[in-house]
Chain A
Amino acid sequence: MELTGAEITIRCLQEEGVEYVFGYPGGAVLFIYDELFKQETVKHVLVRHEQAAVHAADGYARSTDKVGVALVTSGPGVTNAVTGIATAYMDSIPMVVISGQVPTSFIGEDAFQEVDAVGITRPCVKHNFLVKDVKDLASTLKKAFYLAKSGRPGPVLVDIPKDVSNTKTAFEYPSTVNIRSYHPQVAGDANLIKQAAQMLLEAKRPMVYAGGGVILSDAAKQLTDLVRLIDAPCTNTLMGLGGYPASDKQFVGMLGMHGTYEANMGMQNCDVLLAVGARFDDRVIGNVAHFNSVPRKIIHLDIDPASISKRVKVDVPLVGDVANVLGELIKVLKSSKQKPDAAAHKDWWKQIDEWRGANSLVYKNSSELIKPQFVIETLHKITRGDAYVASDVGQHQMWAAQYYKFDQPRRWINSGGLGTMGFGLPAAMGVQLAHPDATVACVTGEGSIQMNIQELSTCKQFNLPIKIIALNNRYLGMVRQWQEFFHGNRYSQSYMDALPDFVKVAEAYGHVGILVEKPSDVEGALQEAFARKDELVFLDFRTDSTENVYPMVPGGRGLSEVILAEDL
């Protein structure tokens, strides 16, 4: 039977088992929307801005192991989506974005709502396609899903001209994909795995540093087993939180610019470092030369060969899928007669505990001013550490990362690589749709929330009972902090003036709003909010406006050159 391109598009989504498409209609995708209308398997979530469609698809993907799907129209639809695509790209999130394009015969003529979607998105997608012939549509969509999910995941854009979606051809969904130039390496090299195992067993001061790759590869269990087996302290990156249980005694917290003292000191002073699904980026290891100034052996496991030896030279490169290679590594370690060096490890743990003693996350609570850290700690308590927490970008993000102790993977949803303000709320929508019965919180700031606040409307339409935890400090706090530290207290454009009454805003959209001004009301307000299981509640916490995030390794400095709260 012959189907139109639009019918084929929907059929492909059905074949891929797509549950939700996040999107916004327009001229170039009208035929596709028409087909969406005629069926019920693929549900469409109408957002209020295309950026939010992509973030929602992203949140959906991060909190599951599925591919997120967004659908946007040509021109402004695509350009609005770009921030979302770049966000997903930086964090390697599997996603397919379908964009409409002007009819093929108009391409290149500056037609109404024409942009070069493939050109604009090229640097921020894993791959993209312009489908010029409807005969190629099904196989292209198949490839798109395969590319998005396999290897190092990432967003893939498929640009479909309007005439292609309205032209008929025979439909057959390919059962397999073969891209001759694309063969991601899944299994690791057996010899290198042996070398790595030996190195880990001989380590006197081992350290495991695990990133988002652990989450993406669903390797939390393997990571935990391995860390216990080799008796090493384990740190997670901002992207890796939940990959190792935060409540475990071998966990030393997040590392990096706002990492714990023990994590950063451990990184700097270990003799064997196992990096897993992480990429030694600048926010994580600070100054490269400083990091390299001490000798240590590095084993680096990543699915992307280009991540290995990009910023830091490694001794044992392990290219492969994290879960797979960790599994092999565990086997080799278990079959070895050699055991970790207990005596040396005892000294190492003693040293770690000393660093822990610096208590780098301690803060002074107050009975007058709401401390943001206290809100997050209370959030953790009220939700019993079992919520999905989507975050925006800024100080609140760091506090959420530091004080909400994630014990499970895929619970912490944040824009780590691109640092996109406006990510939190739409991402939380994707999470809530994926997990309708779960508790979903969105930790945000009064700056970030205003970047996609229109999505309160989407939340109403789709009954998404997200709890918005706004740490409202009346500042673009992270900017203010940098200005305080590095720009002589000149708070250039970082004060948030003329703020709306968020309670009224929430109410105007049909939700519940609660203003919290006193520390003694924090717990009660959170309790009330989470008791409202079926309602979205916007909690406007008026927090201490001058609180800073500590510890802090200033940009360009080394991991041990850290500013602690008590230094000031």
Chain B
Amino acid sequence: MRHIISLLMANEAGALSRVSGLFSARGYNIESLTVAPTEDATLSRMTIVTSGSDEVIEQINKQLNKLVDVVSVMDLSDGDHIERELMLVKVRAEGADREELKRMSDIFRGRVIDVSDKTYTIELTGAGSKLDSFLQAIDRKLILETVRTGASGIGRGERILKI
């Protein structure tokens, strides 16, 4: 099953490689991994999307907790949470396609953030599945480039990950 795991870790050199090394050494899947500093500069927050049986997910949580740099771990999928991913898509936008692409972008609540004679760059956020749908909805031949951040997640309401 797919799980989305959030963790806070010391913002130290090498901390990221400890996490990614753990996943590769133990053969766990990583679908995506995002990391950036938090409002407390000594901490980074990471979101990892992974999949595995309940036993594997339990081990992933325990092994992450065992890393000395990791301050706290939460499996967001254990409860209500929100998940967002950012995607930038550069598309060939000429002639009639220009209008159509703009329309599709609006339907998906995207924004055109860069325009040239021949291209648009569209920004989209949402759950990963929404981004997938957008890519399926537009003409594949028009896609020049896509870049996605991978999911970031946060618990709903009072579900808070802190030290």
Instruction: List chain A positions with a Cβ less than 8 A from chain B.
Output: 118-119, 122-123, 126-127, 130, 147, 179-182, 304-306, 309-310, 313
Contact = CB atoms under 8 A, between A and B. Distances in A.
Given A306-B62, A306-B63, A306-B66, A130 B13 contact: yes
Contacts of A126: 68
B124 to A, nearest CB: 35
Interface of B: 9-10, 13-14, 17-18, 21, 25, 55, 58-59, 62-63, 65-66, 68-72, 163
A305 B65 contact: yes
Contacts of B71: 180-181
B68 A182 contact: yes
25 contacts: A119-B14, A119-B17, A122-B14, A122-B17, A122-B18, A123-B25, A126-B68, A127-B68, A127-B69, A147-B68, A180-B10, A180-B71, A180-B163, A181-B10, A181-B68, A181-B70, A181-B71, A181-B72, A304-B66, A305-B62, A306-B62, A306-B63, A306-B65, A306-B66, A313-B55
Nearest to B64: A306
A181 B62 contact: no
A118 B21 contact: no
Contacts of B72: 181
Contact of A309 (B10, B17, B25, B55): B55
A262 to B, nearest CB: 31
A147 B66 CA distance: 12
Given A119-B17, A304-B66, 15 more contacts: A118-B14, A122-B14, A127-B68, A127-B69, A130-B14, A147-B68, A179-B68, A181-B10, A181-B68, A181-B70, A182-B68, A305-B62, A305-B65, A306-B65, A313-B55
B18 A309 contact: no
Contacts of B70: 181
A122 B25 CA distance: 11
B21 A123 contact: yes
Contacts of A182: 68
A179 B58 CA distance: 24
B7 to A, nearest CB: 10
Contacts of A119: 14, 17
Nearest to A119: B17
A119 B70 CA distance: 18
A180 B68 CA distance: 9
B9 A181 contact: yes
A276 B44 CA distance: 36
A528 to B, nearest CB: 49
Contacts of B17: 119, 122
Nearest to B10: A181
B69 A181 contact: yes
A558 B33 CA distance: 39
A424 to B, nearest CB: 28
A359 to B, nearest CB: 39
User: B62, B68, B70 — which one has the most chain A CB atoms within 10 A of its CB?
Assistant: B68
A123 B55 CA distance: 22
Contacts of A179: 68
A292 to B, nearest CB: 12
**Top 5 A-B residue pairs of the complex, sorted by shortest distance between their CB atoms:** A306-B62, A181-B71, A127-B68, A305-B62, A123-B25
Contacts of B14: 118-119, 122, 130
B68 A122 contact: no
A118 to B, nearest CB: 6
Nearest to A143: B68
Given A123-B21, A181-B9, A306 B59 contact: yes
Nearest to A184: B66
Nearest to A128: B14
B102 to A, nearest CB: 47
A436 to B, nearest CB: 35
Nearest to B22: A123
Nearest to B14: A118
Contacts of B9: 181
Contacts of B69: 127, 181
A266 B21 CA distance: 39
A153 to B, nearest CB: 13
A567 B21 CA distance: 46
A119 B68 CA distance: 15
Contacts of B66: 304-306
Nearest to B12: A129
B123 to A, nearest CB: 35
A118 B62 CA distance: 23
